Structure 1
Amino acid sequence: MNRITTLLILALLVFSCSDSKGNNDTNEKLNALRVELDSLKKSKAEASNASNKQIATFLTFQENNAEEAMNFYVGLFENSRIIDVQRYGKDGPAKEGTIMVATFELNGSKFMCSDSYIKHEWAFTPGVSNMVECKTNDEIEMLFTKLSENGKALMPLDNYGWSTKFAFIEDQFGVSWQLNLK
């Protein structure tokens, strides 16, 4: 916030000290300051928005494939990115380089994942799934194709009465997805 205030004061000083003829150099500097200020405002808003998200889906992978799954999902959905990755070191309890915890966004929704070094008696279940509201037919077709590849369609893409186009998929990592055409 201090940097934004400083930039605003600097912009006001530059603007007020410029001659009335509209010095090109001064205008260019002022425009550059406006661009930087807009960028800082956007960064601040994104950081504030991200910190307000208290609930995230957490995916525990047991086959050391958390990174592969995360990269697959981030590449599949628009407006998605990897935020942070923390890995096990050589002295850790898990295989070196595997994911201790990673944070990523899928179309603005926060997800976290890890590679569990403990083999649990449980796995992913279709009883908990990710619901994706698709905006276009092309989007639902693409997601269905990619998510069902090496996975299985629990409910194939079809009209089930409550939706003109719907599918329920378990992907190659065992994670379940419901796709619905809005």
Structure 2
Amino acid sequence: MAESNKPLLIKRYASRRLYNTETSDYVTLEDIAGFIREGREVQIVDLKSGDDLTRQYLLQIIAEHESRGESVLPVDVLTDLVRSYTSQATSVVPQFLAMSFDMLRDGQSKMAESVGVMNPLSKMPGFDAMQAQQQAFFKAMTGGMMGATKPEAKTAPEPESDDLDDIKAELAALQAKLSKLGK
């Protein structure tokens, strides 16, 4: 079994194929994006030179999602990022972005905790299923980009299969609406 605190090592061969060293099989960019959404850290290295290619491939994953209309980054933010490469801001931007995402993750965790602890509705029948649906919705809305949230002390029971199908249908409808709004 692989240690989850160690990054998943992906090797890029000269043929540009990507090889998962844990499962001993070839993977795609979408597979790598899935590992990241599940909360795994990933490191991609060139087999021959040993160069770390992780940043290059993560940017490629983001570019592919953006080109398919799954826009997360507004044009203004992208423009500011491009400008930051040609100014003195390059020393500040990475720290600012890292701190912003850390604050977002912490805020998500605190919000999830407060909903479960302080909400009088938490004793209502079906509340756990509703909370699981909200978490699935939030994960779908962020595309899993924020990483895994901290595990809660107690886990919500799995919704029944019919409920899960309903949740998936609702999420698909909401994602379609959001895609239309973003265009």
Q: Same fold (TM over 0.5)?
A: no
Higher relative contact order (CA 8 A, sep 6+): 2
Larger Rg: 1
Structure 1 or 2: more helix by fraction? 2
Report the TM range for the smaller structure's normalisation. Answer: under 0.3
Higher strand share: 1
Q: If the length of structure 1 is used for normalisation, what is the TM-score?
A: 0.24
